[in-house]
């Protein structure tokens, strides 16, 4: 209670800063949106896997971190950090494909609880394997890009974050087009709608599941490489990305790429403002309170709709 | 469903197994002419890097002691050995393993794990069995206000880690003819016992000078980004930014202050060496103040390793890297134990415990002298500043090999 009171006291002061010097609001907003794009990138695949395979992938964050380590290994081997993004994407596609062939195919049409348990197990296994191979040391790679200074240096925009933002948007658009226009995308959507009917129509749903899961891992691979260049990675940092992806997908709804982008950007901005005003310790608490509010509101809105139906 | 009969059989088997274990594992702490210490160290999990440093520190001590002929207890000379388990970086597992070491393996002398968390898991167990534990890697002050009788720590406790930076800030203010009470301090520490102790120490010292703490952020465990805190630093312009969040916090602080070009006159961190901020960020790490328990440049010495620098050479020859303080304090823990065993002249745990409590010993790691709560009060923390990519001790003045550069040059002038 004491700490909350103190935080509110600090919070009022901090809020005042934002009003008296709006330039910092701009900084928080820009950074929040750029960070949010990276979260959205991590969440695309989760929405896809959830929608198509009815699996909540609790190893999502570990895929991101593994993508980061792949990029780290490639850049150690002399590859330019930017080229390590597609390379890590491809490696994670293979990892996702293998994981599906080994574990995931067994749990696709099982109870949701079993899939949570299985992917949770995979996440622990991946953490420990990464720890064994890459050690628990914090790793990072310099992208070689610098920073833009706006408004007399009061607002800084990291070029690598802009690159991540652009990558997230481009990948999002590609994904949406892929799902709409290509044959494979259509089979994925058909399987998501009704797997049994899709099978009757001659779609190899097993292949669809495999591709979907591998695709998810691949997108996480790209995300991880960008995280490596923007911040730092460590084998046990995955959970932060899993939780955020989970939240974004809940807010956006499954199978809604545009929604995922918007929810991701919103989450990033909200998190940054909460961190500034309330302090870093209430960042997560604020976000989760927000989630509850959104869910309650959605329930309320749905009920309103239902009333009109009758 | 298991039938009642099956459950009964299972129970009988379980009881028999437990009986067997208890009956056959009464191995003594001393086998023939070897003294066996017990330790649960993190080989896997998030502390595994530092766990490795801890084990290397212990192993080097054992190797050196055996090279020098062993340890003389009473009339007989003994070799030394350590029995290890992996505590998986979890306090609960460390507690279980302490129980196993003492009850099943019959170990009577325990060396500490890595980290305050696992040490907290083990201390109640060693206390229960009245088995002494000497540790070099559990710095949280919560370990020393519980009235533990059998716990001894050779390292400086965590509330002192960065308190020296506040003294330094006050000194610099006085030099510039400014009143230290006008100084503004920003604190961003991880929300864990170790870092919260650091925060308590910093706040205590800041209060003593009448300084104002204008940012007091507690970073989440799953910290990935410090933008919000650093934007606040930009807005409020404190005179010092104090960050503690293990390796991750140190790496993020150095990286993001450089990326966002946050101009703060003083940046003080823990875990610089563990995060290898100089190796990873090069020039961006310059002028950062880093708290350290020990450095190879210090002038302490002992009969086993010689000077601190000699220890460092020996360690590097053995393991191929410069010893971080986590390794040095682990080695020192073994030395304190051995010294106490020699003085006690007996393997009686009570006598050994009393001998440890009476320790007044200079080691390559520093002086060791325990107070009533079991913490070492004879060794101060050292603050080093990264200058041109090299760690230069700058405080306290007794160890200072160079002058602190304050304020840090502005980013645009670098």
Distance CA A282, CA B235 (A): 20
Distance CA B151, CA B163 (A): 24
pLDDT digit string, tens, across residues B157-178 = 988 899 889 999 999 999 999 9
pLDDT class for B273, splitting at 50, 70, 90?
confident
Q: In sequence order, what are the beta bridge partners of B384?
A: B290, B393
A6 contact residues in B (CB cutoff 8 A): 216
Residue B275 has pLDDT above 70, yes or no: yes
On whether residue A152 sits in a domain, the answer given is: yes
Mean pLDDT within A292-300: 88
On whether residue A231 sits in a domain, the answer given is: yes
Of A17, A136, A140, the CB nearest to B49: A136
Q: Which helix (DSSP H) or strand (DSSP E) does residue B393 occupy?
A: strand B390-395
pLDDT at B9: 64
**Element counts in chain A: helices (H) and strands (E):** 12, 2
Q: Closest residue of B to A13, CA-based?
A: B214
* CB of B132 closer than 8 Å to CB of B59: no
- What are the domain boundaries of chain B? 27-156+297-369, 160-292+381-413
Among A207-211, B352-356, B377-381, where is mean pLDDT lowest? Answer: B377-381
Q: What is the DSSP letter of B249?
A: H
User: How many residues in chain A?
Assistant: 310
Of B48, B191, B255, the CB nearest to A140: B255
Of B45, B252, B412, the CB nearest to A232: B252
On whether residue A289 sits in a domain, the answer given is: no
CB contact under 8 A, A31 and B231: yes
Q: Does A147 reach chain B within 8 Å, measured CB to CB?
A: yes
For the B27-156+297-369 domain, the top CATH level (class) is alpha beta
CB contact under 8 A, A279 and B276: no
* CB of B238 closer than 8 Å to CB of B165: no
Among A134-143, B1-10, B257-266, where is mean pLDDT lowest? Answer: B1-10
Higher-pLDDT residue of A283 and B165 is: B165
**Torsion on CA atoms B61, B63, B69, B73, rounded to nearest 10:** 40
- Give the E-state strand segments of A54-202 in sequence order: 147-150, 155-158
What is the CB-side half-sphere exposure of residue B140 using CA atoms within 13 A?
17
- Give the E-state strand segments of A53-196 in sequence order: 147-150, 155-158
Buried/exposed code over A84-119 (b: 16+ C-beta within 10 A; e: otherwise): bbebbbebbbebbbebbeebbeebbeeeeeebeebb
pLDDT at B83: 95
* CB of B279 closer than 8 Å to CB of B142: no
What residues of chain B have any CB closer than 8 angstroms to a CB in chain A? 44-50, 188, 191, 216-220, 222-229, 231-232, 234-236, 247-248, 250-252, 255-256, 259-261, 274-276, 280, 412
pLDDT class for A93, splitting at 50, 70, 90?
very high
A272 contact residues in B (CB cutoff 8 A): 227-228, 231
Distance CA A50, CA B241 (A): 43
pLDDT at B1: 45
pLDDT class for B28, splitting at 50, 70, 90?
very low
CB contact under 8 A, B251 and A140: yes
* CB of A265 closer than 8 Å to CB of A37: yes
CB contact under 8 A, A234 and B248: yes
pLDDT at A7: 62
Domain containing A103: what range? 32-281
A153 contact residues in B (CB cutoff 8 A): 261, 412
Q: Does A158 reach chain B within 8 Å, measured CB to CB?
A: yes
Q: Which helix (DSSP H) or strand (DSSP E) does residue B188 occupy?
A: strand B184-190
Mean pLDDT within A69-92: 94
pLDDT at A8: 62
Mean pLDDT within B396-404: 82
In angstroms, the Cα distances linking B142 to A40, A100, B127, B236, B364 are 41, 46, 15, 33, 27
CATH code assigned at A249: 1.10.3470
Listed by number, the residues of chain A in 123-142 with a beta carbon closer than 8 Å to a beta carbon of chain B are 128, 131-132, 135-138, 140
Q: Is residue B202 classed as helix, strand or coil in its secondary structure? A: helix
Question: Which of left, alpha, beta for B241 (phi over 0: left; psi -120 to 50: alpha)?
Answer: beta
CB contact under 8 A, A17 and B235: yes
Q: Judge residue B251's burial from the number of C-beta atoms within 10 Å of its C-beta, 0-12 exposed, 13-18 middle, 19 or more buried.
A: buried
Distance CA B136, CA B39 (A): 12
Query: How many CB atoms neighbour CB A82 within 10 A?
Result: 17
Distance CA B100, CA B39 (A): 11
pLDDT at A2: 52
Q: A252 to chain B nearest CA, in Å?
A: 23
Rounded CA Rg of chain A: 20
Domains: count for chain A: 1
pLDDT at B23: 42
* CB of B251 closer than 8 Å to CB of B268: no
CB contact under 8 A, A140 and B260: no
In CATH, what number does B160-292+381-413 get?
3.40.50.2300
pLDDT digit string, tens, across residues B90-136 = 999 999 999 999 999 999 999 999 999 999 999 999 999 999 999 99
Residue B269 has pLDDT above 80, yes or no: yes
């Amino acid at each position: 209670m004491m700490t909350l009171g103190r935080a509110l006291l600090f919070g009022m002061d901090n809020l005042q800063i934002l009003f008296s010097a709006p330039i910092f609001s701009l900084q928080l907003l820009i950074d929040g949106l750029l960070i949010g794009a990276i979260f959205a990138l991590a969440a695309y695949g989760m929405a896809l896997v959830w929608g198509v395979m009815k699996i909540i992938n609790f190893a999502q964050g570990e895929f991101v971190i593994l993508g980061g380590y792949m990029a780290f290994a490639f850049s150690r081997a002399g590859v330019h950090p930017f080229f390590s993004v597609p390379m890590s994407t491809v490696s994670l596609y293979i990892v996702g494909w293998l994981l599906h062939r080994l574990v995931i195919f067994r749990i696709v049409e099982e109870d949701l609880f079993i899939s949570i348990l299985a992917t949770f197990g995979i996440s622990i296994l991946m953490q420990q394997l990464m720890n064994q191979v890459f050690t628990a040391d914090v790793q990072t790679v310099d992208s070689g890009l610098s920073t833009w200074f706006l408004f007399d240096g009061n607002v800084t925009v990291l070029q690598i974050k802009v690159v991540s933002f652009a990558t997230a948007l481009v990948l999002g658009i590609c994904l949406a087009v892929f799902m709409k226009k290509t044959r494979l995308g259509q089979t994925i959507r058909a399987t998501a709608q009704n797997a049994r009917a899709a099978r009757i129509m001659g779609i190899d749903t097993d292949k669809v599941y495999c591709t979907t899961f591998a695709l998810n891992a691949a997108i996480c691979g790209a995300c991880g490489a960008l995280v490596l260049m923007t911040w730092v990675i460590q084998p046990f940092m995955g959970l932060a990305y899993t939780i955020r992806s989970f939240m974004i997908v809940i807010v956006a709804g499954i199978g809604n790429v545009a929604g995922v982008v918007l929810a991701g950007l919103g989450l990033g901005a909200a998190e940054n403002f909460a961190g500034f005003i309330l302090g870093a310790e209430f960042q997560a608490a604020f976000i989760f309170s927000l989630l509850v509010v959104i869910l309650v509101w959605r329930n309320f809105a749905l009920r309103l709709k239902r009333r009109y139906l009758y | 469903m298991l039938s009642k009969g099956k459950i009964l059989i299972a129970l009988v088997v379980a009881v028999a197994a437990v009986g067997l274990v208890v009956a056959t594992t009464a191995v003594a702490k001393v086998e023939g002419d070897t003294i066996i210490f017990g330790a649960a160290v993190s080989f896997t999990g998030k502390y595994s890097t530092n766990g490795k440093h801890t084990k290397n520190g212990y192993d080097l001590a054992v190797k050196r002691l055996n090279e020098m002929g062993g340890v003389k207890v009473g009339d007989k000379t003994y070799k030394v050995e350590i029995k290890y388990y992996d505590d998986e970086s979890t306090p609960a597992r460390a507690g279980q393993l302490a129980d196993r070491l003492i009850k099943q393996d019959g170990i009577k002398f325990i060396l500490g794990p890595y980290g305050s968390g696992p040490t907290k898991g083990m201390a109640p167990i060693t206390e229960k069995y009245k088995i002494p534990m000497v540790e070099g890697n559990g710095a949280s002050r919560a370990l020393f206000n519980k009235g533990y009788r059998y716990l001894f720590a050779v390292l400086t406790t965590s509330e002192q880690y960065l308190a020296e930076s506040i003294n330094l800030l006050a000194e610099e203010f006085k030099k510039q003819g400014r009143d230290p009470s006008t100084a503004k301090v920003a604190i961003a520490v991880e929300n864990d016992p170790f870092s919260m102790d650091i925060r308590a120490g910093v706040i205590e010292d800041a209060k003593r000078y009448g300084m104002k703490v204008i940012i007091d952020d507690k970073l989440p465990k799953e910290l990935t980004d410090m933008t919000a805190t650093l934007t606040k630093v930009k807005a409020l312009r404190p005179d010092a930014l104090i960050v503690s969040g293990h390796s991750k916090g140190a790496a993020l602080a150095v990286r993001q202050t450089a990326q966002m070009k946050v101009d703060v006159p003083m940046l003080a961190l823990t875990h610089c060496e563990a995060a290898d901020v100089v190796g990873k960020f090069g020039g961006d790490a310059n002028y950062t103040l880093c708290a350290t328990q020990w450095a190879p440049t210090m002038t302490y010495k002992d009969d086993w390793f010689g000077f601190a620098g000699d220890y460092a050479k020996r360690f590097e020859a053995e393991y191929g890297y410069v010893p971080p303080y986590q390794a040095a304090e682990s080695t020192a823990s073994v030395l304190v134990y051995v010294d106490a065993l020699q003085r006690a002249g007996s393997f009686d745990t009570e006598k050994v415990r009393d001998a440890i409590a009476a320790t007044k010993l200079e080691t390559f790691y520093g002086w060791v002298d325990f107070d009533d709560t079991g913490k070492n009060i004879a060794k101060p923390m050292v603050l080093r500043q990264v200058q041109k990519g090299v760690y230069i001790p700058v405080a306290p003045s007794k160890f200072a090999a160079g002058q602190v550069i304050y304020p840090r040059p502005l980013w645009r002038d670098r």
